Every structure is written in structure tokens, then in C-alpha cells.
């Protein structure tokens, strides 16, 4: 694992393998793709993850440099361990690099969260997904549409196992702890006058298509300022986005968008605090893949600022609305016209049940069979 979303996905698998069979030995390898306190260590504490057995410390870099660094660092680790399975999660550069390395060494690879497709080859993550899935020996999918995607690409059915959404396992297990955080957390924000009467919007942005183009980021920030005229807007700022805002002269510690309102920007939050804010929000605006799933499970309306999504189930069965950046203002107007969150908004999706990690563990140890 290497990036923050990986942590939430691997934790249930580790726990399930421990519970399933004491004879299973696990080595947890952290590539160091996300390496600072806010993006890494705080998540280990919140998720109760063990300290990694190996930390490769590759850090940041271009896609090519980072992928090459992970491959070079993984090779001696894999050579020494010679594992029965190399388990990779998600779609980040670490996922691809570990898969390439293991495959070239003749080691079996299992991909957790396989089969997702945006069909947008401008996204680096799409390349990572496709290559990883075509090299992996066992493809562990979160939803039925992912199975169909793999079948269309000619991947043999015996390599595919529908196990469900491991990230929802983490959400379910930690939601009580997040709820216990709410009184203190809301008190902190309220004391600063940020939550008003209780309705607020929560924002995350980090994708290059939104934050690397100054004109796109400026337009999004102006739309968020428009939203802030109707309700408080809380924006935990990803380091990538902070750098872009600083370059535009919008300091991340002031929250001043400069046009028609203000957005309160805060430092990145730990998993429990962010989940607490997310669960109690009137609206989430994001370009994250995982938040589309989490908001769907929580029944929180979500506006995803992207041209496409690899998680269409969150639109078809969930609470997610997909809009390009040029359509954000219109989507916000529509969201504001609706009277709060519908009591029936929380959907039930197959195998988003808190037991996906158990099904992954069963597949890895051969107990799942061909079902």
C-alpha cells in the first residue's frame, strides 16, 4: 500500500486474515507514496493499523520516477519473502509498481478493488487499473459492474471474485467512533463560527483536471464561494491543492476566495474526524473516488466534479451526482433548492455489508471456491 485510500482498503483484509487462520503470515509493506503526518501516520492511528513491517520511503516524484522507485524498492523485499500472494489495493502508482514487480518475478498477485473503469485514459489511475487487472492472478471486485468490465476485456471468469467493498467495511467498523467524535468536533467548529445552525457543506479537491489548471480551480473556488453564501463550507485542503491555491494568491489559512463569499480551509483531517464531518454534512463536493462510495453508504448527497467516474454504481444506486466543473454552479443551485437530506436516501448495495474483508481473506486462502 502507498496512498491514504489504500489504508482504509487494506485494514479489513489484514484483520480478516488474522481472524481466519493463525498460520497466515502477513508482511505489511508501505511504499511511502503518502508520507507526511496528515496524509499517512494519522490514518494508521485512526484505523488501528499495525506499524508497517517495511517502509520503502519512496516519497513523491513524477509518475515514471515514483513507479520506478517503488519497483526497485519492492524487488528485494519480494525476493526475500517469496510470498504466496502479493496483495495490492486500489489504483495508485504503488499498486501498479508492486504488480509489475511481482509479475516479473513469477509471484501471484491479488488485486483488491479490481475491475473499476472510468474509460478515461487521460487519468493516470485508469492506466494503473487496466494494467494491474490484466497482470493480476486474482481480481477481487467491489461491485457487479466491475465483474462485467473485466469480462468485456476478455479476462477469464475463474480469475474474478466478487467480494464487495472493503472500504465500506472500514466505514462500518469505525462509524461509532466517528459519531463519538462529533460533539467535540462540532463544538470546535461552532466555537469558531463555522457551522452556523448546523447545515454545512464539506469539500475535497485534488485531481489535476480540477486543481492544476488555474482557470478551472478559480471557477470552482468562485462556485464554492457562491455556496458559502447559503451555508458554511469546510474545505480540508490536500497538499497538492494547497500548493496550487498558494500559487494563485489564495492562502489556504484564510479561506478567502476573493469573489462572493468565503470558504473555510483547514488542514487535512484524520479518518475519524473526516468521517464525522462527512456523516453530518448537508452536502459533499468532491473529486475523490472513495468519497463517492462513502457518501452513498451514508446517504449524504454528493456532487462529484469530474467528467466521468469509475464508480457508476454511486450514481445508479446511490446519492452521487456527476458534473463537469462548468456545471458545478447549476448543480449547487439544484442541491440548495432541495429541502435537506431525504430519509430514504441511504441505499442498500450488494456486499457493501462490512464483510468484504472476510470474503477477500477466504478467496486468498482458497475457501471461496468459484462463487
Mean of the pLDDT values across residues 32-43?
66
Residue 131 lies in a domain: yes
For the CA atoms of the chain, what is the radius of gyration? Answer: 20
pLDDT band at 255 (very low <50, low <70, confident <90, very high): very low
- Domain hosting 60: range is 4-165+352-364
Check whether residue 156 and residue 185 sit in a common domain. no
Would you state the pLDDT for residue 45? 84
pLDDT band at 370 (very low <50, low <70, confident <90, very high): very low
Give the active site residues: 206
Mean of the pLDDT values across residues 57-68?
90
Check whether residue 357 and residue 295 sit in a common domain. no
Residue 346 lies in a domain: no
What DSSP line would sit under 256-287, residue for residue? B-SSSSB-EEE----HHHHHHHHHT-SEEEE-
Check whether residue 184 and residue 307 sit in a common domain. yes
Q: Is 336 helix (H, G, I), strand (E, B) or coil?
A: helix
Overall domain count for the chain: 2
Check whether residue 108 and residue 200 sit in a common domain. no
Share of the chain above pLDDT 90, in %: 68
Residue 108 lies in a domain: yes
Question: What phi and psi values does residue 87 have, to the nearest 5 degrees?
Answer: -100, 125
Question: Residue 30 has what DSSP assignment?
Answer: E
Mean of the pLDDT values across residues 156-175?
97
Check whether residue 309 and residue 358 sit in a common domain. no
pLDDT band at 368 (very low <50, low <70, confident <90, very high): low
Check whether residue 293 and residue 202 sit in a common domain. yes
Indicate the angle between helix axes 356-364 and 166-191, nearest 10 degrees. 140
Check whether residue 12 and residue 104 sit in a common domain. yes
Residue 369 lies in a domain: no
Check whether residue 70 and residue 208 sit in a common domain. no
Check whether residue 273 and residue 303 sit in a common domain. yes
**Cβ burial 203-241 (10 Å sphere, 16+ → b, else e):** bbbbbebbbeeeebbbbbbbbbbbbbeebbbbbbbbbeb
pLDDT band at 115 (very low <50, low <70, confident <90, very high): very high
pLDDT band at 257 (very low <50, low <70, confident <90, very high): very low
Asked if pLDDT for residue 351 goes beyond 80, the answer is: yes
Check whether residue 327 and residue 186 sit in a common domain. yes
Would you state the pLDDT for residue 264? 87
Check whether residue 189 and residue 326 sit in a common domain. yes
Residue 170 lies in a domain: no
Residue 80 lies in a domain: yes
Within 10 angstroms of residue 152's Cβ, the number of other Cβ atoms is 10
Residue 179 lies in a domain: yes
Check whether residue 15 and residue 123 sit in a common domain. yes
Mean of the pLDDT values across residues 146-175?
97
Asked if pLDDT for residue 104 goes beyond 90, the answer is: yes
What's the CATH code of the domain at 9?
3.40.50.2000
* Burial class (CB within 10 angstroms; exposed 0-12, middle 13-18, buried 19+) of 76: exposed
Residue 122 lies in a domain: yes
Would you state the pLDDT for residue 14? 95
Amino acid at each position: 500500500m502507498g496512498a491514504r485510500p489504500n489504508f482504509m482498503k487494506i485494514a479489513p483484509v489484514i484483520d480478516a486474515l488474522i481472524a481466519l487462520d493463525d498460520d497466515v503470515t502477513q508482511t505489511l509493506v508501505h511504499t511511502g507514496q503518502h508520507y507526511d503526518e496528515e496524509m499517512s501516520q494519522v490514518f494508521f492511528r485512526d484505523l488501528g493499523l499495525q506499524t508497517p513491517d517495511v517502509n520503502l520511503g519512496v516519497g513523491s516524484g513524477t509518475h515514471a520516477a515514483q513507479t520506478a522507485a517503488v519497483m526497485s524498492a519492492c524487488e528485494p523485499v519480494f525476493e526475500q519473502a517469496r510470498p504466496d500472494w502479493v496483495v495490492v489495493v486500489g489504483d495508485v502508482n504503488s499498486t501498479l509498481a508492486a504488480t509489475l514487480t511481482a509479475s516479473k518475478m513469477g509471484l501471484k498477485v491479488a488485486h483488491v478493488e479490481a475491475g473499476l473503469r472510468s474509460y478515461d485514459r487521460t487519468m493516470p489511475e485508469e492506466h494503473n487499473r487496466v494494467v494491474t487487472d490484466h497482470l493480476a492472478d486474482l481480481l477481487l471486485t467491489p461491485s457487479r459492474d466491475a465483474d462485467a468490465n473485466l469480462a468485456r476485456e476478455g479476462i477469464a471468469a475463474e480469475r474474478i471474485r466478487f467480494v464487495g467493498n472493503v472500504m465500506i467495511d472500514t466505514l462500518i467498523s469505525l462509524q461509532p467512533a466517528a459519531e463519538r467524535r462529533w460533539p467535540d468536533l462540532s463544538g470546535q467548529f461552532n466555537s469558531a463560527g463555522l457551522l452556523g445552525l448546523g447545515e454545512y457543506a464539506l469539500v475535497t479537491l485534488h485531481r489535476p483536471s480540477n486543481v492544476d489548471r488555474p482557470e478551472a480551480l478559480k471557477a470552482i473556488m468562485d462556485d464554492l464561494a457562491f455556496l458559502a453564501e447559503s451555508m458554511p463550507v469546510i474545505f480540508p485542503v490536500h497538499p497538492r491543492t494547497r500548493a496550487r491555491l498558494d500559487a494563485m494568491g489564495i492562502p489556504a489559512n484564510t479561506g478567502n476566495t476573493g469573489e462572493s463569499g468565503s470558504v473555510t480551509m483547514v488542514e487535512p483531517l484524520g479518518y475519524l474526524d473526516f468521517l464525522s464531518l462527512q456523516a453530518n454534512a448537508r452536502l459533499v463536493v468532491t473529486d475523490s473516488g472513495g468519497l463517492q462510495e462513502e457518501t452513498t453508504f451514508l446517504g449524504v448527497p454528493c456532487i462529484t466534479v469530474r467528467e466521468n467516474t469509475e464508480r457508476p454504481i454511486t450514481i445508479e444506486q446511490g446519492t452521487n451526482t456527476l458534473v463537469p466543473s462548468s456545471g458545478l454552479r447549476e448543480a449547487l443551485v439544484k442541491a440548495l433548492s432541495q429541502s435537506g437530506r431525504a430519509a430514504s436516501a441511504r441505499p442498500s448495495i450488494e456486499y457493501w455489508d462490512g464483510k468484504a474483508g472476510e470474503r477477500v481473506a477466504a478467496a486468498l486462502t482458497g475457501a471461496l471456491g468459484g462463487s
